Amino acid sequence: MKLAEALIRRADCQKRFEQVKARLLVNAKVQEGDAPAETPAELLAELGRLANELLDLIKRINKTNSVTVFSNNAILSDALAERDLLALQRNAYAE
């Protein structure tokens, strides 16, 4: 799997995780005597599967970032850290 594909899959997995979490919260609270529209146990199981998939994707992405040489013998994860710091500084100056 290419890095770009893994990043897309990670974003999709994060979105699905949030959707299942929202469905779980809705179905966890029902009036006494009423049945939830979806079984909370099944939603919890799906949340667990998505968490495991997300963990695998994050590990693979981080591993790729830590071994990919970007420029001047710096690895990609270092370049990403510098980018994040520059964004923080830029936001501070803009505010």
pTM over 0.85: no
**Tokens at 48, concatenated:** 């667990």
The mean pLDDT value for 85-92 works out to 96
> How buried is 94 (Cβ within 10 angstroms: 0-12 exposed, 13-18 middle, 19+ buried)?
exposed
Structure confidence at residue 60 (pLDDT): 95
Residue length of the chain? 95
Nearest CA among 67, 47, 50, 66 for reference residue 9: 50
Mean pLDDT of all residues in 9-19: 97
Q: What is the pLDDT of residue 74?
A: 86
Q: Which residue has the higher pLDDT, 75 or 36?
A: 75
Q: What is the pLDDT of residues 16-54, one digit of tens each?
A: 999 999 999 988 877 777 777 888 899 999 999 999 999
